[in-house]
Amino acid sequence: MTSKLPLLLSVALLSSACERRLCGEVNDLEGAPKVLAVGDSVLAWAARRCHSPPDHAALALGEPIENLAVSGTRLLGGEDVIPGQYDAAQGDYSHVILDGGANDLNQSCACGDCDAVLDQLITADASAGALPELVRRVLDDGRTPVLVGYYTMPDDASYGFDRCGPTMATYKSRQIVLAEANPGLRYVDLALLISPAQTPDAYDFDAVHPSEEGAEIIGQALAAAIRQD
């Protein structure tokens, strides 16, 4: 059964995160991480300043999160490939936050003729592909996967992502099929929380990555998904 969060979180989430320095608070969280994050720059953005979405999720949960996400990485290969991030993790985790696929579609097929790449990522029935395989591995390890669905990119998105709307919509529809087929999977659809029309300040300067306000929205949504236990 697909788990989706409400369209809007409290307006309080759109606080002036840019005025706060969070590393002290994040580093003060005690205990071994029970939550792992793997993926691309949506999860890795601003991690050095402790303003990544997993940082905000950690603060909301009151416990540390190990964030191994790397900007620019893919599901299908290349440096710091996302399944390899999961392989490298050594902790005793209960939940695994994960995203990925956007860089594969943008860089491998320019978000155009992407049928082959889409099928390598996830088939139409969600029975095969790199993403279902990773989700199954997490489930088989006795952990709860928290799959992050991308938000909508603005028309002025950088790095070629402005052309990716239709292809990403197809990818997202397959993710939803995957979530519906796996009751143990939590699916967080960021498009319900962040959009150019409703939350323009949630995008950073490049109109691709989350701003600090956007990272807080995402972090709160991730924490809410984890708290469903």
**The predicted structure's pLDDT at residue 22:** 86
Q: How far apart are CA 229 and CA 226, in angstroms?
A: 7
In the chain, where the domains are located: 11-226
DSSP of 45-57: TTGGGT-SHHHHH
Q: How far apart are CA 107 and CA 103, in angstroms?
A: 6
| Residue appearing with tokens 């709307």 | 165
Nearest to 181 by CA among 135, 148, 221: 135
Contact 214, 181 (CB under 8 A): no
**The predicted structure's pLDDT at residue 4:** 46
Backbone angles phi, psi at 62, to 5 degrees: 75, 25
Q: How many CB atoms lie within 10 A of CB 221?
A: 26
Pairing of strands 65-67, 95-98: unpaired
**The predicted structure's pLDDT at residue 78:** 87
Nearest to 225 by CA among 184, 181, 169: 184
Nearest to 49 by CA among 77, 81, 82, 24: 24
> pLDDT tens track of the chain, all 229 residues?
344 444 334 333 434 444 467 898 998 999 999 999 999 999 999 998 999 999 999 999 999 999 999 999 999 998 899 999 999 999 999 999 999 999 999 999 999 999 999 999 999 999 999 999 999 999 999 999 999 999 999 999 999 999 999 999 999 999 999 999 999 999 999 999 999 999 999 999 999 999 999 999 999 999 999 999 7
**The predicted structure's pLDDT at residue 133:** 98
Radius of gyration of the chain (CA): 16
DSSP of 135-179: HHHHHHTT-EEEEEEPPPPPTT-TTTGGG-HHHHHHHHHHHHHHH
**The predicted structure's pLDDT at residue 150:** 98
**The predicted structure's pLDDT at residue 20:** 61
* pTM, two decimal places: 0.90
Sheet holding 65-67, edge to edge: 65-67, 35-38, 95-98, 144-149, 186-189
Q: How far apart are CA 37 and CA 138, in angstroms?
A: 12
Backbone angles phi, psi at 87, to 5 degrees: -60, -35
* Cα torsion through 222, 52, 166, 189, rounded to 10: 10
CATH of 11-226, one of 1.10.10.10, 3.40.50.150, 3.40.50.300, 3.40.50.1110: 3.40.50.1110
